[in-house]
Amino acid sequence: MEKKETLVIAIGGNAILKEGQKGTPQEQFENVMTCCGPIVDLYEQGYRLILVHGNGPQVGNILLQAEAAADTVPPQSIDLCGAQTQGQLGYMLQRAVHNIFNARHVNGKITSVVTQVIVDRDDPAFRHPTKPIGPFYSEERARALQTERPDLVLKEDSGRGWRRVVASPKPLRIIERDSVRSLLDQSHIVVSGGGGGIPVAVEGDHFVGVEAVVDKDLVASIIARDLQADKLIILTGVDRVFVDFGKPTQRPISRMSTAEAKTYLNQGQFPPGSMQPKIEAALEYLEAGGREAVITSIDRLAQALSGESGTVIFREV
C-alpha cells in the first residue's frame, strides 16, 4: 500500500457501550464492528492509523462487579481496572478488524499496546479530585467505605447517592511511544492509550500505579504530537461542533481557527465533561505543531476527511 497520512483517531467509550444498553458482550462487539468498518476503509486507502478508545462505561462495570462481590473478592485499584479494559477493548477491536479484513480479503495487521501514561504526583488534580467513577452508594455504605479506606474520596451526587471521585491529572507522555511507532512503520493499525492510558508516576528509578483517570482525548493529542501525526480525529456523538448548542440560535461550525476555538471556550460554549476536553485536546495538538484536528461522528468519518462534514480546527500560519 502507498503510505498516506498518519491519523490518530479517538473513539469514545460510549460508542462501544451505548446508553440504554445492558453492556452484554454481544452488544459491545456489534458496536465495535460498526465502528471498525469506516476505520478499515481508511486502512485500505493507505492511511497509517492509531486508535485511542475510551473505557468509562467498562471501568464502571468492573467497579459495579467489585462492589457486588465486596465480601469475597479484594477490590481492584483504578490503574488495574484501566489495564483490564485496555485488554478487553483491544481484543474486541482486533477481533472486529480481523473479521472485516477476512471478509474483504485484506492482508492487514492490527496490534494493541498496553499503554502506560506518566502523570505528575504534584498535579493539582490530586488535591481536588473531581472525576466520578463506579457505582452509586447509600450514605451508610459510603461511610463504611470511607472507614475501610480513608484514602477514598466520596461525594454526594445530586440526590442520586454517594459516588467515588478520583483525580484526572494532565498526561505528560506515554512510555510505549517507540513501540507504537515501530508497529506503525510495519503497517499495523495500532491501538494505544486505551482509556487515557494506565496512569503511573515516577518514584525514584521506578514507576508506580496511580489511582486516577486520564482523559483519553488529551492522551490522543499527546500521541498525535509525539508521532507527528498529520491529523488528530476525535469521534463523538455529533457530526459537527455547534455553538449555542440546544438553543434556538444553535449553529454548526465547519471550520475554526485555534483563536476562534479559544474565544468560544472562554465564552463557555463547550461544556466541561462533553465538548470542552475535545476542544482542549485539539488545541494542545495544534499548538505543539500539529496541522489539523477534526471532530466528527464515526458514521461521518469519510466525509469529514474529504471536507464534507465534521469540524476542522486549524492552526493559523
Kindly list the catalytic residues: 13-14, 131, 216, 278
The partner residues of 199 in beta bridges, in order of sequence, read 117
As a whole number of angstroms, the longest Cα–Cα distance in the chain is 61
**154-156 β-sheet, strand order:** 131-137, 162-166, 154-156
The rounded distance, in Å, linking the Cα atoms of 189 and 64 is: 32
One-character DSSP codes across 171-217: P-EETTHHHHHHHHHTTEEEE-SGGG-EEEEEETTEEEE-SB---HH
Helix 25-44 crosses helix 78-104 at what angle (to 10 degrees)? 60
Spatial contact of 280 and 215, defined as CB atoms under 8 Å apart:
no
- Ranges of H-type helices in 74-206: 78-104, 139-148, 177-185
Instruction: Report which secondary-structure segment, H or E, holds 118.
Output: strand 116-118
Q: Which residue has the cell 483519553?
A: 216
Dist. CA 85–CA 150, nearest whole Å = 26
Backbone angles phi and psi of 130, in degrees to 5: -135, -10
